[in-house]
Amino acid sequence: MADIVLDKVTKSFPDGTTAVHGIDLEIADGEFVILVGPSGCGKSTTLNMIAGLEDITSGELRIGGQRVNDRAPKDRDIAMVFQSYALYPNMTVRENMAFPLKLAKMAKEEIDRKVGEAAKVLELTEHLDRKPANLSGGQRQRVAMGRAIVRSPKAFLMDEPLSNLDAKLRVQMRTQVSRLQKQLGTTTVYVTHDQTEAMTLGDRVVVMRGGHLQQVGDPQTLYDRPVNLFVAGFIGSPSMNFLPATVEENALRCPMGELALDDRLRRLLTAADAPRQLVLGIRPEHFEDAALVDQAGKGFTFTAPVDLVESMGSDKYVYFSVEGGPAVAADLEDLAADAGGADVPHDRANLVTRLSAESRVRGGQEARIWMNVDKIHLFDPSSGRNITLQEEEPAGVAAS
Amino acid sequence: MATLDTGPRAKLKWGLLDAVVVVFALIPVLWVVSLSLKTTATLTDGNFIPREWTLDNYRLIFQTDQFVRALINSIGIALISTLIAVVLGTMAAYAISRLDFPGKALLVGVSLLIAMFPQVSLVSPLFNIERQTGLFDTWPGLILPYITFALPLAIYTLSAFFKQIPWDLEKAAKMDGATQAEAFRKVIAPLAAPGVFTTAILVFIFCWNDFLFAISLTSTEQSRTVPVALSFFTGASQFEDPTGAISAAAVVITIPIILFVLFFQKRIVAGLTSGAVKG
Ligand SMILES: Nc1ncnc2c1ncn2[C@@H]1O[C@H](COP(=O)(O)OP(=O)(O)O)[C@@H](O)[C@H]1O
Ligand SMILES: [Mg+2]
């Protein structure tokens, strides 16, 4: 077991692309850290550099306090689980799991004992003599995990290990991976592009974008206090609503109406030297059916026509489209591109709200909706910075 | 996959079609076998099934030094050429399929060029070169041009096989503690084996069957291979018709090929790599 430190680690490929720009990251001994970000943001490259499968262009990588930039993967004592599982097809499950031990020249009985133990933990005992081709996807995934844990390495690296499983199995394996990691207490770096996986698994989540760190923090911090538009939009499902907002004399004009500027907001706006045009962000759960709110005075209430109601049983997702056009910012375009680039009409903004199941709101009708003004975030559209975070101590590390 | 009609009528239709193809392909071979078993007197009687059976032709060719010596040359030259071409081809193909090195496109292009070059146009220059360098009428004198022409073939077949082996397996082996060499030996090589055997068969057949180089670059029994020796065959005496003996020799030289294919066929298990990655 060991800690892993990335010190201004950069990767440039021979073709000129720089996939990772000077990343600083400290992973404590025994910690479970998730690298998350849209596809192509450099997660795998970062992981491969830690593994030793890719050279580090500049910067320093330390494992257990020692600089390992120039060490071959086999001298780093790290195990890796691949997205494709990469099982050796010509070997049985037993031979697959024994392979790293054999290479380490371990005694035969010792190997048998360790493989047996790992197989038991992963419920693979009765499949030990089968070839990977005859296993189901979930079983193959477990063999890949088994091959990693038999060695008791200093750290585990996992590159989207669950993304080839179907949705149900994925949720099941997610808990298993989490339990296994807690049980073994081995430092783990886990890569995924799925923010749900990131939020549910990790002690700490690292959000990456275009080869840069965006924010590092525990899942709740990322959710409650995103440092910029990108993190705010990437974390959470359904994602945060973004609306255009204009700062006026004593109010903030947004598509729902005019929000009064309270002292806190006014102070933040002055401190941040904010532009007049802002992006307002608010999560779906910070809305409620006005009829169900007691102290409606504390928030902001508006009326809007309901587009669609989706009842989930426990609560209702209610969709509105509001006058005033979608918020415009470069970060938002990136997010939309990552989400599949849904075409939104240009004169209206979509609003997703999560209301209590008791709400009587129906599609096609006007609804009175309450919004918790304390929970709004204001972002600078050009830099993407979250202005509402300024007064408090910075949440996690923010890199440009 | 499209499923074919498997009713009895369809079966009959396919059976007939298969039989026609097999008979069509085998008639010349069977005819040669039949000729080799006929006595000299009945050689030209036109019967497909010999009326008088004899093994004299076989006895005769193994008594002549000429044939035995040619057989040894053939086996030796073909085996050595195959071995060298496959070893070099494996290394080249591995590099081509795994690495991005400067001049890779050029290498692939040139080897393709060699494969397409008409061999006959090289015969005279090779003849002159080998005369000058003393390679003429020696084993290396044939092995070298065979390797030259077999290598592109080997590189092409092998790189197709290597490309099927997932890159991740090699990375996994490295993470499991293998050196580059161990990763190749313990993980990649066993998976590439079917490709190597297939290539070996193709190269061996190419060398074994060659007539053009063999007749142009040899002059004595010292390095003459069987296809050439056959063309120089005479009967037991000068006045005897050598057809029976030639047929027997022709039968004999197909046997190593059949053995070679049968021997390696077991190792060519298709789909050996299935199950390596998701799926
Ligand atoms: N061998 C390579 N040569 C050039 N560019 C590469 C190479 N590998 C990855 N890249 C580029 O680096 C960026 C990051 O890739 P990667 O780390 O695989 O992303 P992720 O795993 O986050 O989806 C991508 O833009 C990709 O195109
Ligand atoms: Mg990746």
- Encode burial over A108-117: b for 16+ CB neighbours within 10 A, e otherwise: eeebeebbee
* Partner B contacted by A169 (CB < 8 A): no
Q: Where do runs of H (alpha helix) occur along chain B? A: 8-36, 56-63, 65-98, 104-116, 120-133, 139-164, 167-175, 180-182, 189-209, 212-216, 226-231, 243-265
Find residue A353's DSSP bridge partners: A318
Domain ranges of chain B: 1-54, 64-276
Q: pLDDT by residue (tens digit) across B49-60?
A: 888 888 888 988
Residue B201 and residue B261 in contact, taking contact as beta carbons nearer than 8 Å = yes
Q: Would you place residue B40 in the very low, low, confident or very high pLDDT band (cuts 50, 70, 90)?
A: confident
| Complex ipTM | 0.83
Q: How deeply is A10 buried, as exposed, middle or buried, from its count of CB atoms within 10 A (0-12, 13-18, 19+)?
A: middle
Domain ranges of chain A: 4-224, 229-398
Q: Of the candidates A86, A103, A147, which has its C-beta nearest B277's C-beta?
A: A86
Residue A211 and residue A41 in contact, taking contact as beta carbons nearer than 8 Å = yes
CB contact under 8 A, A89 and B182: no
Locate tokens 């380490």: which residue? A104
Q: Where do runs of H (alpha helix) occur along chain A? A: 43-51, 93-103, 108-121, 137-149, 167-184, 195-201, 219-224, 229-234, 263-272, 330-338
CB contact under 8 A, B177 and A100: yes
Q: What is the pTM of this model?
A: 0.81
Q: pLDDT by residue (tens digit) across B120-142?
A: 888 999 999 999 999 999 999 99
Distance, CA of A62 to CA of A5 (rounded, Å): 5
Distance, CA of A365 to CA of A51 (rounded, Å): 57
Q: How far is the CA of B175 from the centre of ligand 1 (A)?
A: 20
* Of A149-158, B44-53, B73-82, B250-259, the least confident: B44-53
Q: Is B226 left (phi over 0), alpha (psi -120 to 50) or beta?
A: alpha
Locate tokens 């990772």: which residue? A20
- Digit-by-digit pLDDT tens for chain A (400 residues) are 689 999 999 999 988 999 999 999 999 999 999 999 999 999 999 999 999 999 999 999 999 999 999 999 999 999 999 999 999 998 999 999 999 999 999 999 999 999 999 999 999 999 999 999 999 999 999 999 999 999 999 999 999 999 999 989 999 999 999 999 999 999 999 999 999 999 999 899 999 999 999 999 999 999 999 999 999 999 998 999 999 999 988 889 988 888 888 888 888 888 888 888 999 999 999 999 998 888 756 789 999 999 999 999 999 999 998 887 778 888 888 888 777 655 555 667 889 999 999 998 888 889 999 999 889 999 999 999 999 886 554 444 444 4
CB contact under 8 A, A74 and B275: no
Q: How deeply is A17 buried, as exposed, middle or buried, from its count of CB atoms within 10 A (0-12, 13-18, 19+)?
A: exposed
Q: How far is the CA of B236 from the centre of ligand 2 (A)?
A: 74
Separation in Å, CA of B192 to nearest CA in chain A? 11
Which ligand is closest to the CA of A163, given by its number? Answer: 2
Residues 128-167 of B with CB under 8 A from A: 166
Q: What φ, ψ does residue A273 adopt, rounded to 5°?
A: 55, 50
Q: How far is the CA of A160 from the centre of ligand 2 (A)?
A: 7
Find residue A190's DSSP bridge partners: A34, A158
Select from A89, A32, A87 the least CA-distant residue to A100.
A87
CB contact under 8 A, B277 and A53: no
Residues within a 6 A CB radius of ligand 1? A 13, 15, 17, 19, 37, 39-45
Q: Of the candidates B173, B177, B278, which has its C-beta nearest A84's C-beta?
A: B278
For ligand 1, atom 25, the nearest C-alpha belongs to A40
Q: What φ, ψ does residue A24 adopt, rounded to 5°?
A: -115, 125
Q: Which of B99, B174, B176 to mutate to test the interface with A (most CBs of A within 10 A)?
A: B176
Total residues found in chain B within this entry: 279
- How far is CA A67 from each of CA A76, B13, B174, rounded to the nearest angstrom? 10, 72, 19
Q: Of the candidates A52, A74, A82, which has its C-beta nearest B168's C-beta?
A: A82
CB contact under 8 A, A80 and B172: yes
Topology of domain A4-224, CATH: Rossmann fold (3.40.50)
Residues in B touching A140 (Cβ below 8 Å):
275, 278
> B64-276 — its CATH code?
1.10.3720.10
Q: Would you place residue B279 in the very low, low, confident or very high pLDDT band (cuts 50, 70, 90)?
A: very low
Nearest atom of ligand 1 to the alpha carbon of A45: 17
Q: Would you place residue B103 in the very low, low, confident or very high pLDDT band (cuts 50, 70, 90)?
A: confident
Q: How far is the CA of A201 from the centre of ligand 2 (A)?
A: 18
Cβ neighbours of residue B144 closer than 8 Å, sequence gap 6 or more:
B135
